[in-house]
Every structure is written in structure tokens, then in C-alpha cells.
Amino acid sequence: MSVVAQDRQMPARTARSVVGRVLNWYAEHARDLPWRRSDVTPWAIMVSEFMLQQTPVERVRRPWQAWLERWPTPASLAAAPPGAAVRAWGRLGYPRRALRLHQAAQMITSDFNGEVPKDRESLLRLPGVGPYTAAAIRSFAYGQREIVLDTNVRRVLARIGFGVAMPSATPTARERTLAQELIPHDSRRAARWAVASMELGALVCRARNPLCDVCPVRDLCAWRQAGNPASVGPPRRNQAYVGTDRQCRGALLALLRAREDPVEDQQLAAAWQDVAQRKRALASLVQDGLVMLVGRGWSLPGSGHDLDEKGHRCS
């Protein structure tokens, strides 16, 4: 059976076959991830979506569990100082996500009676929630019919539907059209398809060394039929880390997370010796709201050191 060419719609029968096979494959091969279990709350799923942004699954398991044990509801996180969220974020990376999650918890508590909202418009009001995260929460937490286009799903669509190794940098109109053709009409089945296609991309249709021989839709894949052509255009480079401002920020934050008292400049100097880079990284942390000056030292935000004896924030 022929698969869709680049500018044609996928035949309905082919789309149904793709979906059915991927769902059957998922039923047998899905990983047992804690945020996928039937008893998890929408809040737990929302926390997982924040943590999984640009972070591998295995790095998220333990921090996610610890986070939910400490803050099982949005209200419990909202009551904590933002610095506690940054400290608990640990080495997940991109710590601004912790602040956004804390801010979202405060809004959920104040504006939505402590419940993660279900409708798209309300979700998009929350700090740190964009179109993808809103769609993922609606699909995974509430079983709604949503097109969920993460990197793994987009790669699956690019290969099956368009015969190319990798998707474009951002979703295109034809990509969304193909996603719309594939998504089942039934909401529960659509939610299952969202997670199943994501899992297929993560475990089989991988960016490197794809396992085409065990793919459930290998005979319907335009990329395989074309001989698995390599990506066109400049190669994608992995983002450098060693010696960058990002690494410097991480080193400074690690020191602040490990200390209860404010950290003075000479202590920061011991954590990172390059003076100009350290000052630049520290200034960016302050600008992002991750660090604040408290007296003669530096501290995580809202850690208690920035309050006077009456609980007022020090100037």
C-alpha cells in the first residue's frame, strides 16, 4: 500500500492502519512511567510535563517522585517560597522551569480553586504553559482530543508521512494537516494515540540508529520506502555546555542550593574562577529571578533571608 507523498493527503485506510498498529504496539511495549499510571492527578502530569522539557525521561523519574511527595497539590507548592522550588529542582537543568511551575501553582490556587484547569484558554494563562504543554495536559490528564507534537511525534510524522529523516525546526502547516488526519475521532483513543506515537518515536523511530526492522508501520513508512535518505540541510549540532555561561550558572546555583545562608562573593569566586563570566552569569540569574542579593550575600528567592522579623521583604 502506498503512503502519502509530500503534498498529498494520507489515504484514510492507511491512516487507520498506522494508528491501529501503533496502538497495538504501545499496548505491548510501553514503558511503565509513573506519570502515565491511571491514578496520577492532573497536577502530577503537569509537573512531569514541566520537568520533561528538554530533559531525558530517566533523569526525571526520581525528582518527579520527590517533588510530588513534597508538594502533592498546587496549593502545597504555592505555599512554599520560590527558592524551595529552585532548590528542589536540583540538577534537572533550565531552573527557570521551577520558578514558572511555582508561579503556575500560585495562579492555579488563587484563580482555579486549586485544580489544574481543563480548558485550553485557562491553561495558556498559566506561567510556563505554551501550546504544546497545554495540549499535553489536556490529552494526558483529561483524555481530550488534542494534537500533541513533541520532537518524537514530529519525527515519526516526518518519516512515515513525508519520507524525510528529520522534521523542520518548527511545525509546518502540512505537518499539522497530517497530524489531524491521523488523530482518531474518539477522545480516549486520540489521547492514547498521542502517547503511543510519542513512545514509538522515543523507543523505535529514534533520531539516531532507528530500529526500523521492529517498527509496526515499517511497510507504510515513506522514509523506509525511499531507502532511509539522510537529512538535507546543515547538520544539527549538539549545544555546547562545558565552559559556557550555562555551565557557570549551574555551578553558582549548585552552591546556592547547597547553602542555607546567603553566599558571599568570595565563595562564588571559589565555585567559578573566571571573573567576567561569573559576573555575567550571576547578573543573568538575578535577571531571571533565580537569585537575589540579601545583605552582603546572594540567596535563592524567597528563602527567608530576604524577610525582616515582621515577614516583610527587605529592600
238/257 Cα distance (integer angstroms)? 28
- Residue 40's pLDDT is 97
- Residue 241's pLDDT is 84
Which amino acid, residue 283?
A
Which residues are identified as catalytic?
49
Note whether residue 307 is domain-resident. no
Mean local confidence (pLDDT), 44-67: 96
Note whether residue 288 is domain-resident. yes
- Residue 215's pLDDT is 98
Note whether residue 259 is domain-resident. yes
pLDDT band at 237 (very low <50, low <70, confident <90, very high): low
- Residue 235's pLDDT is 60
Which element (helix H / strand E) includes 256?
helix 245-258
Per-chain mean pLDDT for the chain: 92
Give residue 283's domain range.
Answer: 245-299
Specify the pTM. 0.89
Q: Are 137 and 125 in contact (CB under 8 A)?
A: no
- Residue 102's pLDDT is 98
- Residue 10's pLDDT is 85
Mean local confidence (pLDDT), 289-300: 95
Nine-digit cell string for 232: 538535507
37/45 Cα distance (integer angstroms)? 10
Name the domain count of the chain.
1
Note whether residue 256 is domain-resident. yes
Phi, psi at 307, each rounded to 5°: -115, 145
pLDDT band at 260 (very low <50, low <70, confident <90, very high): confident
Note whether residue 1 is domain-resident. no
The number of beta carbons lying within 10 Å of the beta carbon of residue 160 is 28
Residue 310 has pLDDT above 80, yes or no: no
Mean local confidence (pLDDT), 283-289: 96
Residue 306 has pLDDT above 80, yes or no: no
pLDDT, one tens digit per residue, over 70-93 is: 999 999 999 999 999 999 999 898
Exposed, middle or buried, 165 (CB in 10 Å: 0-12/13-18/19+)? middle
- Residue 128's pLDDT is 97
* Residue 262's CATH number: 1.10.10
Phi, psi at 206, each rounded to 5°: -75, 160
Note whether residue 38 is domain-resident. no
- Residue 149's pLDDT is 96
pLDDT band at 116 (very low <50, low <70, confident <90, very high): very high
Higher pLDDT, 232 or 270: 270
Mean local confidence (pLDDT), 259-271: 94
pLDDT band at 6 (very low <50, low <70, confident <90, very high): very low
Rg over alpha carbons for the chain, rounded to the nearest Å, is 22
Mean local confidence (pLDDT), 118-138: 98
Q: Which residue do the cell numbers 515513506 mark?
A: 222
pLDDT band at 240 (very low <50, low <70, confident <90, very high): confident
Note whether residue 290 is domain-resident. yes
Nine-digit cell string for 156: 515519526
The number of beta carbons lying within 10 Å of the beta carbon of residue 279 is 14
Higher pLDDT, 167 or 260: 167
Nine-digit cell string for 56: 531525558
- Residue 87's pLDDT is 95
- Residue 171's pLDDT is 93
- Residue 79's pLDDT is 98
